[in-house]
Amino acid sequence: MKDAFHGSAHLAHGLVTAARGSTATIVHPYRGSSRTSRRRGTARTAPVWIRRAGAHCVDRLPRIVLEVDTTWAAIPCWSGRASRWAHSTVMTAYPQRYDTHVRPAMPHNPVSVKSLVAVAEARASFADHRTGRDCRPTNARLADMTGLSVRTVQRASTALRLLGVATEVVRGRQRTRAERFASWRVGDKGRGWASVWALHDCRIQPLSPHPGGSHLVFKTSPKSVLTTGGRRQTAGSSAATRRTSPDTRALALANKWITDQQSPPWARRYRTGTPWTRILAGPARHGWTPRDVNTLIRDWIGTGHWLPDDPHKPIGLLGALLAAHGDLDNRPSAYEVAREHDELAQARARITAQLAAREDHRQAREAGRAALSGPGRQAAREALRDIAERARRRRHDNPDTDGAR
């Protein structure tokens, strides 16, 4: 199919304005995937530390995901939640721009407002509730949720993009040979990737009909309603409180934790451990170590919970884990540390016993060597020499007796 009839029509790039003297409209550049800027993404499996920590809960983690190779900074966000975006932003953009932006691109594929809102609500349920990004359901899943056909879902998705209220960051595609092998290795039988969308406010914004600006005359406010009057405060007289210095023990714990090799990647989101000092002040007072913090995270995953690879608020996430743990006197790694200390003490005792036995054996060997040159041995050797000498003399003095024998 051609792009004009398939759910892949793209908006024009660049700034679009109406003729001078009329109501102008500005169109922010389209930041999604297009023919000139194709984005395929990079397939990545779950990190090793998550799979090891998850143990029997690995099936609850995404075994392989498509990471978007683009920055989200140039793509806007929605200003409300899913319901507001679907019923306010989309409903407002449909009557204003459907005839001028959608109908020319899809002349023989109309989309009703009812179907458009249904698909918008379904898509919004998969988006990030705060930004509206990272929305990646399949067309078949949306069709099951809305009760529409897959072709209608495709047309509605194209209409959302043409209306300027959604951006297709990465287009759906089949997995490559290497991606299929990687999927099979982690137990994923999928053969394709769904499109990645960003749902946002309208990119098309009307400007003032007067190119020179507004002709309204602004009046100055009377002094009676001004809040800037009064005497200016001198330096140092501000009532603002100074920032308290961070706890040294908490700062030391945070710096050691973010540099520990066993710590998760999101622990190193900040360059220093200063942002973590407030949340780690309590554990630092109770003698926690970086191993205790990492053990707490692994225990949370091992008990069936799920942690994202890149949490939106990592400090809040760690605070929730500490709140769920409760008693800070009960260090998560205390049992393991005690067991390791016991094993170390046993190993040291075994080595000490081996060294003592070796020393006893060495002393016994030295005593045996010293006995070889003692007076008893010397007297025995002299007696043997005397016996041998007498025997030699008898043979020399009586040679006939020896011959007769």
pLDDT band (50, 70, 90) for residue 1: very low
Same domain (yes/no): 175, 305: no
SS3 state of residue 196: strand
Same domain (yes/no): 188, 282: no
Domain count along the chain? 2
Task: Number of helices (H) and strands (E) in the chain: give both, helices first.
Answer: 14, 8
Same domain (yes/no): 53, 198: yes
Cα(10)–Cα(358) distance, integer angstroms: 83
For residue 202, give its domain range. 25-206
pLDDT tens for 205-231 read 654 444 444 444 444 555 554 555 555
Cα(302)–Cα(332) distance, integer angstroms: 13
Same domain (yes/no): 153, 281: no
317: enclosing H helix or E strand: helix 314-325
Q: 167, 32 in Cβ contact below 8 A?
A: yes
- Return the residue matching tokens 């209306």: 163
Please give the residue that has the higher pLDDT: either 386 or 46.
386
Does this model's pTM top 0.85? My answer is no
pLDDT tens for 11-45 read 433 334 444 444 455 666 676 776 666 777 777 77
Question: Which residues in 194-209 are b (16+ Cβ under 10 Å) and which e?
Answer: bbbbbbbbbbbeeeee
pLDDT of residue 239: 52
pLDDT of residue 5: 31
pLDDT tens for 290-341 read 999 999 999 988 888 888 888 888 899 999 999 998 889 999 998 988 999 9
pLDDT tens for 111-139 read 999 999 999 999 999 998 888 888 989 99
Same domain (yes/no): 42, 136: yes
Same domain (yes/no): 197, 118: yes
| Residue (of 303, 297, 291, 283) closest to 334 by Cα position | 291
| Domain boundary pick from 325, 340, 368 | 325
Q: 166, 198 in Cβ contact below 8 A?
A: yes
